[in-house]
Amino acid sequence: MEKMCNKLGFEGLVAVEPQGKSGGIALFWKDKDVRSPYPNNLIEGFNDCLHEAELHDIDILGHQFTWEKGRNTYHWTEIRLDRVLANTQRLHMFDMAKVYNLEGSPSDHSPLLLCSESQLKGNRKHHFRFENAWLTEPMYFQIIKDCWEEDDNSSITKKLAKCAESLQIWGREITGCFSSRIRDCKAKLKILRGKNDNQSLVEYENAKQQLYLVLDQKEIFWRQRSKQFWLQVGEKNIKYFHASCNKRKRNNHIQKLKNEDGDWVEWEQQNRELLSAVTEKEVKNAVFNMHPDKASGPDGMTPAFFQKNWNTVGTEVVQMVRNFFVT
């Protein structure tokens, strides 16, 4: 498209690629000569405005020019026309802010990306999120047991909050530094690899098991954050996507229920069963039928937390569910 633009004698180009069977569009234009000087009163007025507003230019990382014309011609011109400005207060709040020149664009202007990183981020409230990788550490279960038994009279909400507080402090060393832990294990293995004494052999085996543990924790950490997206190849998945949604809708529409023997149950009988007291088995089955990596609830705990600690927390979880239906 750029070759066609230059061949036709145009200097600017914006192109929209076709989507499916719909066509695209391309716009070509010629710019006035930017080498012509701007009037001094415009330049001075603009600078006075920046000074009065206390706006400062943030340096660009990457290619320093943001506009071009006449590429692949003898009149190729590049200028830094686009800038990101910020006042003193914002620069103080976001002292690590950076502006990146993304370059690749069908336009003659390069897109700029502003990334703000606040120096005040340590004062922000971080929401707790349970990490399934913690379950691989033996110390984890002792922490939960101690928090849960610290005050038997506390509500389940307060006990969960206590667990979250303790886990957040302890867990930083587990999931906060995978790279350094892997590097330390490999360095230790390298030192011990050539030694044959009993002590070195034991230490080598321990270091190898520790490396495997950290690698497993890292895999669990990222698997918990992974999501599968259906529409990755555009229109090729449209029919399958709609067919799957319709099938899901049909499956989720309940007309009648079957009992444990596979017999259809009438509505009146269904209502009586639905209004009966919730059993411990029903609650446990509901919890254990969830995928361990499902998104956490408002308390930050994933289904894996309740599944792996059922012997400790199960009784109070069941009672909370029963209280919900009663009240």
Write out pLDDT tens, residues 187-217. 888 888 878 888 888 898 999 998 898 888 8
Q: Backbone phi, then psi, for 120, in 5-degree steps? A: -90, 10
Which one of 53, 88, 122 terminates a domain? 122
Mean pLDDT for 68-79 is 76
In a domain, 288, yes or no: no
* Distance, CA of 297 to CA of 290 (rounded, Å): 13
- The number of folded domains in the chain is 3
Write out pLDDT tens, residues 36-70. 566 777 778 888 888 777 788 888 888 888 888 87
Between residues 95 and 221, the one the model is more confident about = 221
Q: Backbone phi, then psi, for 265, in 5-degree steps? A: -110, 135
* Distance, CA of 224 to CA of 235 (rounded, Å): 28
Q: Give yes or no: residues 84 and 171 share one domain.
A: no
What distance lies between CA 85 and its chain's CA centroid?
29
In a domain, 89, yes or no: yes
Q: Give yes or no: residues 115 and 138 share one domain.
A: no
Write out pLDDT tens, residues 284-320. 999 999 888 777 778 888 889 999 999 999 999 998 8
8 Å CB contact between 11 and 108: yes
Percent of the chain with pLDDT over 90: 5
Q: Give yes or no: residues 59 and 147 share one domain.
A: no
Residue 249, domain extent = 233-276
Q: Give yes or no: residues 208 and 136 share one domain.
A: yes
Q: Give yes or no: residues 19 and 116 share one domain.
A: yes
What is the DSSP code string of 131-166?
-GGGGG-HHHHHHHHHHHHS-TTS-HHHHHHHHHHH
- Read off the tokens for 138: 């033996």
Kindly tell me if the per-residue pLDDT of 145 is higher than 60. Answer: yes
In a domain, 306, yes or no: no
- In the structure, what pLDDT confidence band is assigned to residue 75 with cuts at 50, 70 and 90? confident
From 76-80, 176-180, 247-251, 252-256, the region with the lowest mean pLDDT: 247-251
Give the residue from 143, 151, 145 showing the smallest Cα distance to 170.
143
Q: Give yes or no: residues 87 and 191 share one domain.
A: no
| 311-318: long-range pairs with CB below 8 Å, 24+ | 312/144, 312/145, 312/148, 313/144, 313/148, 313/156, 313/159, 314/280, 314/284, 316/156, 316/159, 317/156, 317/283, 317/287, 318/278, 318/280, 318/283, 318/284
Beta bridge partners of 55: 87
* Distance, CA of 210 to CA of 216 (rounded, Å): 10
Mean pLDDT for 101-119 is 73
Neighbours of 45 (CB within 10 A): 11
Q: Give yes or no: residues 56 and 86 share one domain.
A: yes
Strand stretches in 73-135, DSSP E: 77-79, 85-87, 98-101, 112-115
User: What's the pLDDT at 236?
Assistant: 41
Which of 3-17, 172-186, 246-260 reaches the highest mean pLDDT?
Answer: 172-186
Give the residue from 183, 247, 234 showing the smallest Cα distance to 211.
183
Q: Rounded to 10 degrees, what is the CA torsion of 49, 50, 54, 60? A: 170
Between strands 55-57 and 264-265, the pairing is unpaired
- pTM over the 0.85 mark: no
Sequence-separated (6 or more) residues with CB below 8 Å from residue 3: 72
Q: Give yes or no: residues 211 and 241 share one domain.
A: no
